[in-house]
Structure 1
Amino acid sequence: MYAAAHVHLVCSEPLRLVGGASRCAGTVEVKHRGEWRRGVTFVHWDLGATAAVCRALDCGSAVSGGERYDFPRSHVWYIRSDCVKNSTVTECVESRDSSSYGLEVVCSDLLNHPIISLSVLDGASEALPQGVRVMPGSKFRVKCSVEPQFTGGSFQLLSPTVDLTQNHTLPAVNHSAHFLFSDTGPAHKGNYTCVYHLQVFDHTFSSQSHALQLNVEGQGQRRR
């Protein structure tokens, strides 16, 4: 555990993570004096400093962070790790000669947000601003998908029927999963949300889609 720090970094800071599958994981690089260089520190880089970087990039909270020593030797910027917890990166950077050191950071918002969509397999449907209206008795399918980033993982569907005897967690196949529903009735009415779960870097990450609203109404039931 570590004490929470008051962080004043902002997204406009000349800071980025490179080399990872997401903008929220990778090697720390800083733009200083008009030049992007790998960041290093010769004081222990702890989760407090990692959290400052994650917040500056709007990448959630810190998962892991630390030094690496196997980079090709190149010019770097020295970051005072205690400084970044309370100041901007620009205020904490100093010139440095070449080094094979670097900093690796992983933040909690590592995964892309999944996409949720609904299609009716039989019966009438109508698109709504926040979802879909379907006729009672229809069969429909909810698709959870995510842009290719990592392989594997699973999708969990949060829905009004979560207490029913249906499988609401499926493995991701080609970055997607399909949840089938039949004999649509009042119990199916409500919000549906996809949650993508994946274990990477020895941590389990989750990312959630926006909610899609399903209305179940017959032609004579629609509000006038």
Structure 2
Amino acid sequence: MSNSTSKTTAATSNVSTNRGAREDNEQNQIAGDYSWQHSSWPFSPDDVLPLQWWRTMPADQLGDAQHLLLRTTLQNIATFTGRQWLACLHEDAAACIKIALRALGARPITEIALEVDLAMSFLMASALGGNAGSALVLSHILRRVPINRGFAKKLSVSWLELNLRRALEAKATKEGQALKTRHAPANRDTDDHRAAFYDGDVS
């Protein structure tokens, strides 16, 4: 291969490499802008029964594994508690919110009975499943339950933060997709040039 050909190959490779590095840097910057740190917490979900998570664990300590375990727990319980929970088993947000507000009643909860734990756990499952409305209602209710005020406030804020984090992550994803779309024509030009070169169409 001649020196001219070698230089052309190297130049084409460098353009592709530099563009790829630039895109990675831009995407990393977008991801960094919306990064989120887990809060510190004195105990883990393994230390508490799933039906008590809603009043003991902040949202950022509950991931996909806990969501699945909670759904399984609720499904097993709902089998014996009647039809009022069936819609909630499918994480029908409207049904979950209705039952939770019914359990709350007109006045603040003074005692956390099993029915309250069930109602709030279904609501939390809906929130963990991605429903912003359920997370908002749960945040509101946590400020009205008979647990330590400072503790309840932290739990309440965690569900508002979850909604914010999801909104920012959705924005980051959208911006990342827009970035790829913006660079797509240039990437195609580079690929076409490289293909033409190796096919012998470039002098």
By relative contact order (CA 8 Å, sep 6+), the higher-ranking structure is 2
Question: Hey, which of these two has a bigger chunk of helix by percent?
Answer: 2
With the shorter chain as reference, the TM-score category is under 0.3
- Relative to the length of structure 2, the TM-score reads 0.24
Question: Hey, which of these two has a bigger chunk of strand by percent?
Answer: 1
- Relative to the length of structure 1, the TM-score reads 0.23
